[in-house]
Amino acid sequence: MILTSLKFSQIGIQFIMLPNIENLEMRYIKPIRLKVIMMMFFFTGIVGIVIGLTIASSFSSYASLLITFMGVINLSLGGFFGWVFFTQQQTEEDPRKRKRKKK
């Protein structure tokens, strides 16, 4: 009985341990694509909050709360993509992958 609980505690410790965050890198995303995603999330977040606080409040308090919460989530996603837009660094292109023009 003691041995099995020891094995389960070791497995639990493995789930608790976090990976090395310093070496994680995200893929480079083109700035125009990030701007479009940012605008989309910010716009839908603002619309969701406005609809949740004004229009949906007359129907049901649960629906109003849910729509407002979804708007806040969209605003958070817009902020995350804004952070990615402002902090990512452009990678240097490999000259071997450059397309050559045909004559």
Q: Please give the full DSSP string across 36-101, using - where no structure is assigned.
A: HHHHHHHHHHHHHHHHHHTTGGGT-HHHHHHHHHHHHHHHHHHHHHHHHHHH--PPPPPGGGSPPP
Has residue 37 been placed in a domain?
Answer: yes
Has residue 40 been placed in a domain?
Answer: yes
Has residue 95 been placed in a domain?
Answer: no
* Residue 38 belongs to domain spanning: 29-59
Q: Report how many domains make up the chain.
A: 1
Has residue 42 been placed in a domain?
Answer: yes
Has residue 67 been placed in a domain?
Answer: no
Has residue 9 been placed in a domain?
Answer: no
pTM of the model: 0.66
* pLDDT tens per residue across all 103 residues of the chain: 455 555 555 555 555 655 666 777 788 889 999 999 999 999 999 999 999 999 888 888 888 999 999 999 999 999 999 999 999 888 777 677 766 666 6
Has residue 49 been placed in a domain?
Answer: yes
